[in-house]
A and B are shown apart, each in its own frame.
Chain A
Amino acid sequence: MFSSITTTEKCMLEIFDYSFMVRALIAGLIVAVTIPLLGSFLVARRYSLIADSLAHVSLAGVGAGLLLGFAPAIAAIPITVAGALILEWLRQKQKVSGEVSLAILMSSGLALAVVFSNLARGANTDFSSYLFGSITTTSWNDVILLAVAAIITIAIIVINYRTLVHIAFDEDSARIAKHRVTLLSYGLTALTAVIVVLSLRIIGGLLISALLVMPVVTASQFAKSFYQTIILAIMTATIAVTIGLVVAFYAGIAAGGAIVLSALVLLVAAMILKR
């Protein structure tokens, strides 16, 4: 049977000989389902930049973890969730303009991350893997944490799907219909924060928002409905993550860059096809 396998297929199968690649692929596929699912709601709400800000805050959390000797994710989750809740509060109360608060949070997050990581001597190599993603550093613990968070996220979205669609497209009308707009808005932003933190290892903090936005925009070129957008966005992200990880493996480049460039190629192709 094996005699009929081509050289390319042999190369593909070779990937599975390395346990770090198996972990990276599993984690990547979980990310590919969860991030565009969240992204569809966030982009519809014009929240694309919020993910970017949260990713930068999460890097500050990672830096703090490295400095204080905690597991970076343990430190980053509460800090990023707190950042997410503050952002949502600012938006709901309209205390400051959305753009300004996002810009402040984004730059402060990255500044803190750089300072913390510099202070945590010897941890710089590890920190750069959180910036750009790394397939070799994803542990089974990372995969399990990510899977649990993904299952919780998907379950919450499925259970509250109709209300979340209502909020995403017509928040006023959802409030008039007495839906739990405030609770679900905070919930969705907090879930995004957790998923962002747990995806840092694979995609990297500087690139994560691309995976949140690009597959959704790619899907929007062809989808006729919001539901179709979600399905197509997940399919697009799955293809981008798989190609990106394989390319990262063979080319020895950062996984996040390869994944996002794959997503970009798919987006450009979709736009050309749509013209």
Chain B
Amino acid sequence: MQPKNKAKIIYPSNNKTSLTSGQRLSAVSQLLIDVDDATVKFGSLTIIDRLSLGIHQGEFVGLIGPNGAGKTTFLRAILGLQELTSGSIKLSGATMSYIPQQGAQYNAIVPISVLEVVKLGCNGSSNKALEALQSVDMAETASKRFNELSGGQQQRVTIAKALASNADIIFLDEPTTGIDERSQREFFALLKTLQEKGITIVMVSHEVDTVLTLVTRVICLNRTIVYDGPPEHFEADKYLPKFYKERHVQLHHHHGEMHA
């Protein structure tokens, strides 16, 4: 007899309580997310296949892999936005925040102000929202329309929204796509500062070189885990599938030409 599929995300009883900053710094190795045998299928297509891993407090995880490797699906499954076909994800009760590509969702035809975007993270508290904007050096833009900001500024504002929600874990999905190089560097530096303050960061990115210099742990995904370990032991040639490596080289070549 086939065992019955179990597919569930297990929330703690009090999932609204975020960790205090003291807890964040002292409990560096606390397990926040426990993924066990997670599988997601769309019809007959397997997107992620029997994936198991744990994410701990204070980690900066770089999630890399080719297009269609299941990175975004995996993030969405952890966030409860994608149902698992089988397996389970246990969450510790830490507050989670999700930053998709370049704040596109706030660029609707109807304007929303920077302050209003950040207030979404803190149940409408203007003081808390302004504090969060100050912490990412964006307080002077509070009354502007969100879509008047540059891509880099928009991503700083979405980080402020995450901070306003007292996020313990911030998930980012290719956050610097379409952002100029200088803004990218500043944005990555901001993420590093947040991680040093004890906030856990999980970032999907195609900027492999940058990811390797920034993160404390690399997870290379291609439906299942290809590599999971420290960035210094990650060998791009060995773990990245050939077509992804070629694309990476092409991008670098193109990039080099542009700067030549």
A80 CB–B CB distance under 8 Å: no
* B113 contacts A225, C-beta separation under 8 Å: yes
- Choose, from A63-71, A117-125, A199-207, A216-224, the stretch at the interface: A216-224
A169 to B108, CA, bound (A): 8
Contact A176/B112 with A162-B123, A170-B105, A170-B106 known, Cβ cut-off 8 Å:
no
Q: List the A side residues contacting B105 at CB < 8 Å.
A: 169-173
Among B15, B120, B123, which residue has its beta carbon within 8 angstroms of that of A170? B120
Interface centre among B96, B115, B120, by most A CB within 10 Å?
A: B120
* A178 contacts B16, C-beta separation under 8 Å: yes
A175 CB–B CB distance under 8 Å: yes
Among B16, B76, B100, B116, which residue has its beta carbon within 8 angstroms of that of A226? B116
Beta-carbon contacts under 8 Å, A154-191 to B: 162, 165-166, 168-178
* B110 contacts A229, C-beta separation under 8 Å: yes
Q: List the B side residues contacting A172 at CB < 8 Å.
A: 76, 79, 81, 98, 100, 105
B145 CB–A CB distance under 8 Å: yes
A228 to B110, CA, bound (A): 10
Q: Which residue of A lies closest to B115 (CB)?
A: A225
Q: List the A side residues contacting B16 at CB < 8 Å.
A: 178
* A165 contacts B116, C-beta separation under 8 Å: yes
* A43 contacts B109, C-beta separation under 8 Å: yes
Chain B interface residue count, CB cutoff 8 Å, equals 30
* A169 contacts B113, C-beta separation under 8 Å: no
Contact A224/B98 with A166-B120, A176-B80 known, Cβ cut-off 8 Å:
no
Q: List the A side residues contacting B145 at CB < 8 Å.
A: 224-225
* A216 contacts B116, C-beta separation under 8 Å: no
* A226 contacts B110, C-beta separation under 8 Å: yes
A44 CB–B CB distance under 8 Å: yes
Cβ of B53 to closest chain A Cβ, rounded Å: 20
* A173 contacts B111, C-beta separation under 8 Å: no
Q: List the A side residues contacting B110 at CB < 8 Å.
A: 40, 43-44, 168, 216, 220, 226, 229
Cβ of B154 to closest chain A Cβ, rounded Å: 13
B117 CB–A CB distance under 8 Å: yes
* B108 contacts A176, C-beta separation under 8 Å: no
A229 to B145, CA, bound (A): 11
Beta-carbon contacts under 8 Å, B61-79 to A: 76, 79
Q: List the B side residues contacting A89 at CB < 8 Å.
A: none
A41 to B110, CA, bound (A): 9
* A225 contacts B112, C-beta separation under 8 Å: yes
A227 CB–B CB distance under 8 Å: yes
* A176 contacts B120, C-beta separation under 8 Å: no
Q: Which residue of A lies closest to B113 (CB)?
A: A225
Among B98, B113, B115, which residue has its beta carbon within 8 angstroms of that of A173? B98
Give B108-145 as 1s and 0s: 1 = Cβ < 8 Å from A's Cβ atoms.
11111101110110011000000000000000000111
Given A46-B108, A225-B115, A229-B110, 20 more contacts at CB 8 Å? Answer: A43-B108, A44-B108, A44-B110, A165-B112, A165-B120, A168-B110, A170-B120, A171-B105, A172-B81, A173-B97, A173-B105, A175-B81, A177-B165, A178-B15, A224-B111, A225-B112, A225-B145, A226-B113, A226-B116, A229-B111
* Chain B residues proximal to chain A, CB less than 8 Å: 15-16, 76, 79-81, 96-98, 100, 105-106, 108-113, 115-117, 119-120, 123-124, 143-145, 161, 165
